Chain A
Amino acid sequence: MENKVILLNHGSGGRLTHQLIDSVFASRFSNPVLEQRSDSAVMNIGGERAAFTTDSFVVNPLFFPGGDIGKLSVCGTVNDLAVSGATPLALSASFIIEEGFPFSDLERIADSMAKTALEAGVSIVTGDTKVVNRGKADRLFITTAGIGSFRNGRACTGSCEGVKPGDVVIVNGFLGDHGMAILAAREGMTFSADVKSDCAALNRIIADVLDKTDAVAFMRDATRGGLGTVLCELAEDGGVGIEIDEKALPVRKAVRGMCDMFGFDPLFIANEGKVVMVVREEAAPLVLDIMRKNPQGKDAAIVGRVTDEASKVKMKTVVGGTRIISMPAGDQLPRIC
């Protein structure tokens, strides 16, 4: 191994993170459930199928337009459960707090978690609190875990086995809002006041779709690494090709402007309230219609389709050229979630 220490980039969610997980964790923890490699582990508990997942949050700043670390920590875990097809039931929340952290901020964050959990219909049922010396952690880190039930009778949508050429790729709205809102907040950019994080629980919009159709072959929430990373993972793991149309990608004008300024590609910018759904072609109009009736899906759009060109993601560009989309390399914005 050339890199003997952990680099910031190991946490980017991109190629280096995958390598780290493979070489250090997956090989040692190896078991059939872990090998599913989806956002939630789907397993049998007492004879009943359930989903189980966990996520840590280290976002900087703690408060940002459209949300805060508390809201993020509830939504992130709820969404990981929801995209696997499960109904989120209960969460745990663990706090690592730096000595000297203001009580008022902690209360504000806890209020936000309670409100988000209530809205999403989940309970925070257990937790843990640790305080470390000043300087030994940056203010506050939160870890949540959650369990979800499949009593809803739904199929698991977290693995891409069922994805077929001809299927359609849908996202529920504008891309890149979260990443750019964090960047704007960090850099103190005043001109981007209208960019807010899309941080939201997606279990209701997902349930709305799954209640009406069983034509959803795969779902994943496009967080760190953005839509582009999800599509690359899908192409690689599912052995299918994907062709997307740049013209069809929903991106706000302000987000596009910021991306142009900083040289980012909105395809790879983080979201915290976006689900990528792969659905059978004939069901696409229905899914779009259901999504658009939901506040989380007003701007839902078909962005591409699945092809038989194995493991390749291609994009038709706005000017009429074609290019390959590949997994992003570096992490331009650490501590985004």
Chain B
Amino acid sequence: MNIREDFRNYRDCCALAERIRAESKTPVTIMEVCGGHTMTLQRYGIPSMLPETVRLISGPGCPVCVSDIRFIDRAVALARKPEVIIATYGDLIRVPGSSSSLEKERAAGADVKVVWSALEAIAIALANPDKKVVFLGIGFETTTPGTAIGIIEAEKVSAGNFFVLSSHKVMPPVMTALIDEGVKIDAYLCPGHVSVITGSSIYEPIAEKYRKPCVISGFEPSDILQSIWMIVKQFEEKAARVEIQYKRVVRPEGNLRAQAITGEVFEPVDDYWRGLGVIPLSGLKLREKYRRFDAAEAIEVEVEKTKESKGCICGSILKGVAGPYDCKLFAKTCTPDSPVGACMVSSEGTCSAYFQYGDYGK
């Protein structure tokens, strides 16, 4: 398999776009839930290939963007403790909290390390036995198993100075919450990586109860174009099924081992989503058995009072009811260099993708 030849092929992509243009008659609003999809769409200029009937809106699938500002504030407070080393995915470094960010704390002397996995954070913990290493666990079903494996490994190697600050979330509750809130969504372009773990069945209620077509899509341009075409076909037929476009990695049952390990370590909990508020059973917290690894409980810190930035409409953007161009701050006071809202920070954030690839001058 050659990704460049097979999935970024000019002829195939143009042919798929042609089919979409020929077959789409009724205006359809498709939400791409996942930030990775937003990136591909913008990076390859796919909106410029679609007919006016197909409208794409970005959803709440960037984990950095939907994280509670209190999560960042707590991470900042932890970073200020001299005995703490923060180990985090790079995306979180620049996310603004109420008054600071991990980037600013690092400049002020805090020990903030960028890691690619929880296992790397454990290695740091073992190498620094006199420090407390806090791994910032963030992401959806895709990254949670990695954190869960980390916790099981930490127990195995007796890394007593390894902790996790968890902001892990699950996807299906927010997808139904958006429809319940009245956001106009005709169909979902479902996240491919999440589905590798969960399988396709998590979307069945959305198709059955809410009558919305769901297509699980890969991340290459031809994947997305084919998925949009599959959605258009369903929509024109007035059908609402769950279909897997990303067949080369997504199985209907998902990755059972990853599901088991997540279930072993985490349990569902009501969780706060930026812009959306509390959504029942949409978050994950460590089970009693592993609670001693929970940084929020094990390391006492004083977290500052929450202060959301004024004028920022990240919340509406995450709900898909507004786009970056609707925001007064976009590309003016809010830029990737000095982001006001989380959507401008993460490389998968909607505002960041539009700023980097979109024609914001227009």
Contacts and interface: CB of A to CB of B under 8 A. Distances in A.
A45 interface: no
A319 B347 CA distance: 22
Given A8-B103, A8-B106, A318 B94 contact: no
A321 B337 contact: no
A16 B336 CA distance: 10
A317 interface: yes
A322 to B, nearest CB: 5
Nearest to A263: B347
Interface string A300-337: 00000000000010010111111110101110100000
A5 B105 CA distance: 10
B209 interface: no
Contact of A8 (B3, B14, B42, B107): B107
A15 interface: yes
B45 A3 contact: no
Nearest to A246: B44
B235 to A, nearest CB: 22
Contacts of B42: 323
A318 B107 contact: no
B356 A329 contact: yes
A192 to B, nearest CB: 15
Contacts of A317: 43-45, 221
Interface string A83-125: 0000000000000000000000000000000000000000000
Interface string A12-30: 0011100100000000000
Given A3-B338, A322-B48, A323-B42, A329 B10 contact: no
Nearest to A256: B4
B22 interface: no
A329 B44 contact: no
A265 B43 contact: yes
A54 to B, nearest CB: 25
Nearest to A15: B337
Given A317-B44, A317-B45, A318-B10, A332 B90 contact: yes
A247 interface: yes
A8 B9 CA distance: 38
A125 to B, nearest CB: 37
Interface residues of B, number: 41
The majority secondary structure among interface residues of chain B is helix
B44 A319 contact: yes
Nearest to A324: B359
A261 B39 CA distance: 14
A2 interface: yes
Nearest to A19: B337
A263 B356 CA distance: 14
Contacts of B194: none
Nearest to B347: A263
B10 A260 contact: no
Interface string B94-105: 100000000110
A319 B13 contact: yes
A9 interface: yes
B43 A329 contact: no
Contacts of B266: none
A154 B56 CA distance: 53
Contacts of B104: 3, 5, 7
A319 B355 contact: no
Contact of B103 (A9, A320, A323): A9
Interface in A30-45: none
B357 A320 contact: no
A2 B99 CA distance: 11
A324 B354 CA distance: 10
Contacts of A187: 116
Interface string A253-291: 100100010010100000000000000000000000000
Contacts of B14: 319-320
B312 interface: no
Given A265-B43, A317-B45, A321-B46, 5 more contacts: A3-B338, A16-B337, A321-B48, A323-B48, A329-B356
Interface of A: 2-3, 5-9, 14-16, 19, 187, 247, 253, 256, 260, 263, 265, 312, 315, 317-324, 326, 328-330, 332
5 contacts: A312-B361, A319-B13, A321-B46, A321-B221, A323-B48
